[in-house]
Structure formats: C-alpha cells, structure tokens
Amino acid sequence: MSLNAEKMTLSGEFVDLRPLCISDADLTFKWRQSPRSLLLNRGANSAWQQGEWIAARPANEFNFIIQLKDGKPIGMVSLTDIDMINLRGEPGRFLIGDEDATKGIPAAAEAMLLLYQLAFDHLGLHRVYGAVAEDNRRMIKWQLYMGMTKEGRFQDHYFINGRFQCAVLFGLIEPEFHKVAAPRLKAMIAAGHMKIAAPT
C-alpha cells in the first residue's frame, strides 16, 4: 500500500477525516455507549479497553475521526480488510457520535465521500462491501441511497438488543461509485451551501 494510514488526513469542505489515535479513546468509548451504537458490533467495555483496541489497529487499516473544520470531533469511520490482490475493502465502524453538532451540515455525506474517494480513487480498489444489522434501518437506507447493491443476508448473524438479527450484505463496485454514489453525495454536500426558504 502506497498510502500512510497512520498519518493521512482527508480534507473536505465541511469535515476532515484525521487518523484515530489513542487519545480519542475516552470520546469514542462514550460514543460507543450511545443508544444508536447498540446496532453496531459490541465494542470495548471501558475507555482503557478502547485505547488498547485503538493501539492494536494494524497499519493496513484506515481508522478516522470525523471532525468539523474547527476541529470538533463528531464521529468515526474506517476502511478495513483492504485486499490489494482482489482490490476490495470494507468501509465500516461508521458512527456519528455527536448528532446535534451535525444537524443541517452534510457531515456524514462528506465523510463517506472522502472515504470512498480514498478507496476507489487513491487506493484503486474495485469493490467495497459491508454488512448492516437488519434493525439498523437508517443505515440500510443510507447504503441503498449511495448506490450499494443488496447482495444477500446472513441469517441470525448478530445478537443485538437481546435477540438474533440478520446481517444485510451490501456491495459497491467502482463504476457504480462514480455513476451513482459520488453524484448523490456531492449533491448532498452542495445542499449545505444552498440558500434556505424564508419562513412562511
């Protein structure tokens, strides 16, 4: 891999993606305790464990903190399981931890565009893929909006919220990224610049 995952920062108009570091343990652990995170894979049991987990990330993973342009951290996202033989990788660990700070701002859209541009345009991957718990309907709609194709499901793959849930499997190949996902994400980002309607 020609890119340095530990030092890379990706810059956008509304957010930057900067490398996740051990000093983010307390904040990211707090985010992982939120009700929304119940729909993700189980994480660390303490901030200390979270720090251990961050320290153990392999060099061929890209783990980012999503931060506003003023430096305020608002979430996290990763690109993992990068396979430079088969040219595929898995975006994931996507969590907006501070939802209030992102209201009215296309933060999630731009964070995902930056991550996909890293995957397809910089790393030259051909395909990204992932799995979402069936109850995580908002994330499933998000994946479909971005042009992801529903490729199948793993039955009772997760035990979340006290019951088994299927994993919905998604995939996106490079031509579809440029044809569908990138224009939609760019449109969402453009919405962040538009004039709003006067109150009625």
Q: Which residues of the chain form contacts with another protein (CB under 8 A)?
A: 34-36, 96, 99, 102-110, 137-139, 141-142, 144-145, 183-184, 187-188, 190-192, 194-197, 199-200
Q: What's the min distance (Å) between Cβ of 88 and another protein? A: 24
Contact 125, 29 (CB under 8 A): no
Q: What's the min distance (Å) between Cβ of 108 and another protein? A: 4
Q: What's the min distance (Å) between Cβ of 124 and another protein? A: 27
| DSSP character at residue 8 | -
Distances (CA, A) of 41 to 4, 30, 69, 116, 162: 27, 15, 29, 22, 13
Three-class DSSP category at 48? helix
Nearer to another protein among residue 79 and residue 107 (C-beta): 107
Nearer to another protein among residue 71 and residue 104 (C-beta): 104
Three-class DSSP category at 47? helix
Nearer to another protein among residue 69 and residue 138 (C-beta): 138
Three-class DSSP category at 11? strand
Q: What's the min distance (Å) between Cβ of 163 and another protein? A: 17
